[in-house]
Amino acid sequence: MRVCLEYQSALGPLSGVGRYTHQLANALFRDIKNDSLYLYCSDPLKRHGNKLPLTIPLSSSQLLPYSFAQKWWNLFNWPGAERIMGDADIYHFPNFTVPPLKKGKSIVTIHDVVFEKFPELVEEKNLAYLTRNMAKTLRRADAIITVSKKTSLDLNELFGINEDKIVTIYPGITRKEHQLEKGNDSRLIEQLGVNRPFLLFVSTIEPRKNISFLIKVFEELRHFDGELLIVGSFGWKYESVLQSYENSTRRHSIRFLRYIHDDTLQSLYRKAELFVFPSLYEGFGFPPLEAMLHGTPVISSTGGALKEVLQGGAVLLDEYDVELWRSTVQSLIEDTEKREYWSKKGMDHAKKFTWEHTAKMQWDVYRGL
């Protein structure tokens, strides 16, 4: 069996779907057995510094870039994707949509349905694209992968998808054993100019992440003379977040850190007092699980799949009440034993999510088709 994994989303900075695709490619190759796997992407030399998994064969179409092909697919439902991606038995599209395909079987990964649940929070261009293509994708796909049971239920509720067509496969959490040693954490963090205790938030800066609410909670922490570090690239509709920051009475203790090196991010995870994640909706929830893996106690909302994914390893809050969040954060900051308890619980929980298991289940779906 020959499998083609569409790798386009992993060409840019590795966050969200791109990180998922990159790690999935590596995990699939490690568990390849008697089948074959290759990646497809257009213009692979234009990637932004991240390394391609060079051990995996790569196919690319320099004459017909993927973005150009998408326009033809939308307008003419032509050409078949296999014409530009090469021959395969299975084509896996890990970024929400499936193009027209004249031969072979197709699989799509749906990470969330935020475009249906909270359309006002989605980038206009992305919203229009998903709204226009989702019904076609769900008809075309021979199998649908979701990264949580919550997303499976949402798909069934919103689109009436037959449950037999959907398989939930949790992603793994990346382990870099040689970097899990504490080593030079303090030196790396000091290079950022951080020299006080800090609360940590990691994700793309966009409305769904509820960062303005987090800033309000931080303002009410009268007995915490530390910083709030917000790590992530600016996505879309972030103006209200910046306005909340500008108006904050504690803005001099709030810092935005753009895309940083993975070593430094792991140091931030390990040294943070708490990881606080008030997101409105998540299809899975990589950042809180990554924080757990590094032993950082996590306080999170239950938005979307977060309760399903984090239950048992994090302090979960059902409501977006500033006083409730403030008191919960304050109590953990002040109680060393409680922090140690949630640190251990979180580490044990995060270890359940492995890419090895993800790859095994994914290969089972390929072979089943």
Residue 280 and residue 308 in one domain: yes
- Is there a cis peptide before residue 79, judged by omega within 30 degrees of 0? yes
Give the separation between CA 27 and CA 24, rounded to whole angstroms. 5
Closest to 212 measured CA to CA, from 121, 150, 343, 134: 121
Mean predicted confidence (pLDDT) in 53-74: 64
Residue 209 and residue 73 in one domain: no
Mean predicted confidence (pLDDT) in 53-73: 63
Q: Considering its fold, how many domains does the chain have in total?
A: 2
Other residues' Cβ atoms within 10 Å of the Cβ of residue 158: 13
Q: What is the reported pLDDT for 316?
A: 98
Tell the residue number behind the tokens 């943070």, with chain if given: 272
Mean predicted confidence (pLDDT) in 30-56: 69
Alpha carbon of 322 to those of 101, 207, 319, 349: distances in Å? 49, 17, 9, 27
Element (H, E) at 58: strand 58-59
What 3-state class would DSSP assign to 232? Answer: coil
What CATH number did the domain enclosing 261 receive? 3.40.50.2000
Name residues whose C-beta falls within 8 Å of residue 196's C-beta, 6 or more positions apart in sequence. Answer: 225, 226, 227
Residue 298 and residue 193 in one domain: yes
> Where is mean pLDDT largest: 80-89, 183-192, 345-354?
345-354
Residue 136 and residue 274 in one domain: no
Residue 113 and residue 198 in one domain: no
Does the pLDDT of residue 50 top 60, yes or no? no
Residue 207 and residue 61 in one domain: no
Residue 112 and residue 229 in one domain: no
Please report which confidence band the pLDDT of residue 198 belongs to, taking 50, 70 and 90 as the band edges: very high
Residue 230 and residue 191 in one domain: yes
Least confident residue range of 74-78, 136-140, 317-321: 74-78
Amino acid, single-letter form, for residue 120: E
The burial of 125, by beta-carbon neighbours within 10 Å (0-12 exposed, 13-18 middle, 19 or more buried), is given as: exposed
Residue 127 and residue 56 in one domain: yes
Supply the mean pLDDT for the chain. Answer: 88
pLDDT in tens, 208-262: 999 999 999 999 998 899 999 999 989 888 899 999 999 999 999 999 998 788 8
DSSP assignment string, 171-229: PP----GGGSS-TTHHHHHHTTT--S-EEEEES-BSGGG-HHHHHHHHHT-TT--SEEE
Residue 145 and residue 248 in one domain: no
Please report which confidence band the pLDDT of residue 178 belongs to, taking 50, 70 and 90 as the band edges: very low
pLDDT in tens, 261-306: 888 889 999 999 999 999 999 999 999 999 999 999 999 999 999 9
Does the pLDDT of residue 44 top 70, yes or no? no
Other residues' Cβ atoms within 10 Å of the Cβ of residue 318: 10
Residue 47 and residue 107 in one domain: yes
Give the separation between CA 108 and CA 99, rounded to whole angstroms. 10
Cβ(303)–Cβ(282) below 8 Å: yes
Residue 102 and residue 40 in one domain: yes
pLDDT in tens, 308-341: 999 999 999 999 999 999 999 999 999 999 999 9
pLDDT in tens, 87-113: 899 999 999 999 988 899 999 999 999
| Domain region containing 13 | 2-172+354-368
